[in-house]
Structure 1
Amino acid sequence: MTNWKYIYFVGIGGIGMSALARWFKANGFQVAGYDKTLTTLVQTLIDEDIKVNLEDEVSAMPAEFIADPDHTLVIYTPAVPVQHKQMLYLRDNNFLILKRSQVLGMLTKNLRTVGVAGTHGKTTTSSIVAHILRQAEVNSTAFLGGITQNYGTNLLLNEPTEHLEEVICVVEADEFDRSFLTLYPEIAIVTSTDADHLDIYGKHEAVLDSFKEFVSQIDEEGALFMKHGLEIGSATKAKVYTYSLSAGDYQAENIRIENARFVFDIKHPAGAIEQIAMVIPGYHNIENSIAAAAVALYLDVPSEKIKEALESYRGVKRRFEYQVERSGKVYIDDYAHHPAEIEAFLKSVKALYPGRHITAVFQPHLFTRTRDFADGFAESLSTADRLLLLDIYPARELPIEGVTSEMLLEKVGISDKKIISKEELLKVLPELDTEVIVTIGAGDIDTLVLPIKNLFAAPVTNN
């Protein structure tokens, strides 16, 4: 790494890419990058004095980066289109170009790495592990896939030490494009292996094979903590532990809702951690907490420290994030973009607000994902009382004939449903009789969160 002076990110606005960008800047490198949209996260990077250009023209890149290919490392995300002008130039001029996952694998090679993988749940679970370690004053660093509410960042830096091999590094291990196969963790969590990213994998069997290869890379002296019922444990030589809400080596007991909070115990092989009152809601978050607690116990964090950390953990932005919570009106935003995630989210909302009318605003993410899981999306979205469906967010994809929001809407089994534009949504919402509003999706629906929050942040008064 001493050979590099300049680090250029193509797709710097991604949550994982931005964490790496911050790490390099904190360690004395000159950092710049490209992203197509001026999101809140991109603006934050700019405010931190990281140069970000929003055009893919080569001329938009810093001149000193272009002039010194021998000392410039390019890090890119596979979500960038193949014909991206800057990427074409960088390839043609022999710049060293690596995926984020490759660089992350290099950085974590000499650290005690905890890799958190899964088709859903990995962002919250990894951030809970990181929070427990930070609260227990364990020297650790973390590269997370979301902005933590506790720290306002997706990167936690360790304290300087001459014994880097003792630092624990928490990494969100992303299965997209098999990126997590660059990691060789000492400890791993696998939350789920559902079918996803079929535009990359083709079949669910290929997804499972990729997870098996990932767990085969765990240190033989290490440990795998996987959700009970997954069929990947035989692929590793590490010690295997299981967890879930109600089965496995680590599980929850006495789950109840008190004062709009989930309260539960964690039963583990050596005893129990009792009366945990979580700030973040959701049955799925109880399960995520069990996995994180299991790893913390494995790392000899005292039970009382784990309980304190779980009760002070405030979640990740866009993961069951309350925007408005007042009498008569609740607005929650969530990043869910897979049918299983949407189902878990909406079931938890209904459990917290029994009998309340739920209006869901959903933006499908990717044409291929909408095509592959249309029936699952329709079933999970039918849990809401009203559905306002936005157009599909294409991200890196071109449209697919016949795959539209209209196609998805037809399959949804509730009568109160309609297609709506983002502009129309902000006009219609105040006119609707709404009690609980939720926005769901992984595209640019996040740009609507603040405007919707402003619509309902204060009680409506009649003049």
Structure 2
Amino acid sequence: MSEFSGVTRIHLMGIGGSGMSSLAGLLFQMGCTVSGCDLERGACIESLESRGVECLVGHSHEHVERFDPQLVIYSSAIAENCTELSFARERGVRTVGRGRALSWMFNQAEGVGVAGTHGKTTTSSMISLILERAGLSPTVYVGAEVQDIGANARLGEGAAFVAELDESDGSFEYFHPSLAVVTNIDWDHVDHFRSREDVVEAFVRFAEGRKTHAPLVVCAEDEGAREMLQLLEGREVTGPVVRYGWGHVWDWGALDLLHRPGGGVSCVVCRRGEMMGRIEMAVSGAHNVLNALAALAVSDALGVPFASAAEALRTFRGAKRRLETLGTRHGVLVVDDYAHHPTELAATLDAMRKAHPGRRLVAVFQPHRYSRTAAFLGPLASVLEGADIVLLLPVYGAGEAVLSEVSSEEIADRMRSNGRSCYLCENEEKALSTLEALTREGDVLLTLGAGSISRLGGLFLDGTGVGR
């Protein structure tokens, strides 16, 4: 890692984000003196502080003076004209974006790069656990805490570096995997990608950037991924393509899918037409079966026996905020999920329907970013109709400028025009009081979104007097 040679003091701006906190954890485990700052204190910062990383709230040139860093790493949420960043550059401190900094470590290792619009957190978590249980001691970088590992990043002793690669700002193109995974390709991050075609082209460039002879593991069920493969045909790209999907026609396939009441799935797995056996998983949803197939394909390519990988998947508890069961209160089961795109919401609602047949689904959704909400108003309204009761919180801007013409009211209007009612809640207090009145024993309460809604489930569980 020549780019880090001689660097011992590193300051991270935007350290509270999932990707930045993971990177901070790796750098700290490497022995660097790590500091950071963000606009507010959250769970990621509290975790880092408990390990000895000093974090400050806000952005100020005083941070640079105080910590005297040799390198400043900044997230994509940090504006180029941020006073703290500008001051660091004026002092001659080297500055670099998060994606580029992570790629310096990844590209020197046997990198397993997991990319895709949806599912990359869970897939990279599954791969990390399988390799860990197989004794390969991988370095891990994931955008959420892997519950079986107890962290979102860990410095391993083995050659493999498993990383969830973020396409949101195009930085995944800095990475050159020894083994690449593409779970799916969908239009998202509309502030960066003008169209679905732009997203597909970015993934083509990512696939072209993998190391010579590096395998490419792709979900053959996904239309966007198939388009990527078509565009790659005839180009000077070496390395085998490993396809996975439903049935036995792919390199890795799933048959006889069963959804267990109360949660969990099982299926028969075949490899190039050969029946390998049935896998059992505690996580729910057909989408997680596809994620597991990707993980099995990767572990097979790295020499892990199927039986060992299947056993790791059997014990896999998932990643934080991915269909995470928080608890039960007065007979109401509370599940928290990061879903914020229509495709993700559809998968989550379908998984919960199949895991909890006959129970009411009460969904509280917080739209994430004004740009995404504006682009998907219609699809968001349609997919939320899959819940029995819907509560809508205001849009979580995630640093974007407020667009007065874009709001949760627009989603509600579209739902009402389709004959479905919903409840508009101006804040989490109103959402909690509405839930107090609406929920009853046997309900499944889903808190959905990528913003501050992650607090809501815990607040509901701490309350009293729910149920009728």
Quick one: which of 196, 201, 226 aligns to 2:218? Answer: 226
Corresponding residue for residue 162 of structure 1: none
Corresponding residue for residue 340 of structure 1: 343
Corresponding residue for residue 427 of structure 1: 433
CA 460–431 in structure 1, closer or farther in 2 if over 3 Å, else same: closer
Corresponding residue for residue 373 of structure 1: 376
The 5 A counterparts of 1:303-382 are: 303-325=306-328, 328-382=331-385
Corresponding residue for residue 172 of structure 1: 164
Contact 1:81 1:396 (C-alpha < 8 Å) held by counterparts: no
Contact 1:273 1:307 (C-alpha < 8 Å) held by counterparts: no
Residue range with higher mean Cα deviation, 442-451 or 121-130: 442-451
Contact 2:329 2:466 (C-alpha < 8 Å) held by counterparts: no
Contact 2:362 2:445 (C-alpha < 8 Å) held by counterparts: yes
Corresponding residue for residue 246 of structure 2: 245
CA 273–314 in structure 1, closer or farther in 2 if over 3 Å, else same: farther
Corresponding residue for residue 163 of structure 1: none
Letter in 2 for 1:416: S
The 5 A counterparts of 1:58-457 are: 58-61=61-64, 63-65=66-68, 72-159=70-157, 167-228=159-220, 229=223, 230=225, 231-234=227-230, 235=232, 236-246=237-247, 248-260=250-262, 261-269=264-272, 271-325=274-328, 328-412=331-415, 413=418, 415-420=420-425, 421-434=427-440, 435-455=443-463
CA 82–406 in structure 1, closer or farther in 2 if over 3 Å, else same: farther
Letter in 1 for 2:86: L
Separation in structure 2 between the aligned mates of residue 325 and residue 123 of structure 1, nearest angstrom: 25
Q: SS at the partner of 1:198?
A: coil
Contact 1:116 1:173 (C-alpha < 8 Å) held by counterparts: yes
Deviation per residue, 1:132-156 (Å, 9 max, x gap): 0001111311111110111210112
- Structure 1 residue 188: Cα displacement: 0.7
Deviation per residue, 1:175-214 (Å, 9 max, x gap): 0111101100011110111001111111111111100000
Separation in structure 1 between the aligned mates of residue 159 and residue 273 of structure 2, nearest angstrom: 26
Residue range with higher mean Cα deviation, 371-380 or 246-255: 246-255
Residue range with higher mean Cα deviation, 22-31 or 116-125: 22-31
- Structure 1 residue 328: Cα displacement: 3.4
Contact 1:359 1:384 (C-alpha < 8 Å) held by counterparts: yes
Contact 1:382 1:414 (C-alpha < 8 Å) held by counterparts: no
Separation in structure 1 between the aligned mates of residue 52 and residue 58 of structure 2, nearest angstrom: 18
CA RMSD of the aligned region, Å?
1.9
Contact 1:125 1:288 (C-alpha < 8 Å) held by counterparts: yes
- Structure 1 residue 326: Cα displacement: 7.4
Deviation per residue, 1:43-102 (Å, 9 max, x gap): 11111111111121222456241xxx6xx1111111123443212222333321111111
Q: Does 1:20 align with 2:23?
A: yes
CA 94–203 in structure 1, closer or farther in 2 if over 3 Å, else same: farther
- Structure 1 residue 327: Cα displacement: 8.1
TM-score (normalizing by structure 2): 0.92
CA 377–223 in structure 1, closer or farther in 2 if over 3 Å, else same: same
Deviation >4 Å, runs of 4+: 459-462
Separation in structure 1 between the aligned mates of residue 394 and residue 57 of structure 2, nearest angstrom: 23
CA 62–304 in structure 1, closer or farther in 2 if over 3 Å, else same: farther
Separation in structure 1 between the aligned mates of residue 66 and residue 135 of structure 2, nearest angstrom: 42
Letter in 2 for 1:111: A
Q: SS at the partner of 2:463?
A: helix
Contact 1:198 1:204 (C-alpha < 8 Å) held by counterparts: no
Contact 1:53 1:61 (C-alpha < 8 Å) held by counterparts: no
Letter in 1 for 2:140: A
Letter in 2 for 1:169: F
Contact 1:225 1:241 (C-alpha < 8 Å) held by counterparts: yes
- Structure 1 residue 325: Cα displacement: 4.5
Letter in 2 for 1:37: E
Deviation per residue, 1:236-261 (Å, 9 max, x gap): 42211111234632121111123532
Contact 1:4 1:73 (C-alpha < 8 Å) held by counterparts: yes
Quick one: which of 48, 52, 55 aligns to 2:55? Answer: 52
Deviation per residue, 1:379-403 (Å, 9 max, x gap): 1111111110000001121012311
Separation in structure 2 between the aligned mates of residue 81 and residue 419 of structure 1, nearest angstrom: 32
Separation in structure 2 between the aligned mates of residue 414 and residue 34 of structure 1, nearest angstrom: 46
Gap runs ≥5 in structure 1: 160-165
- Structure 1 residue 414: Cα displacement: 5.4
Q: Number of matched residues?
A: 449
Separation in structure 1 between the aligned mates of residue 63 and residue 419 of structure 2, nearest angstrom: 48
Separation in structure 2 between the aligned mates of residue 119 and residue 439 of structure 1, nearest angstrom: 21
Contact 1:366 1:394 (C-alpha < 8 Å) held by counterparts: yes
- Structure 1 residue 22: Cα displacement: 1.3
Letter in 1 for 2:428: K
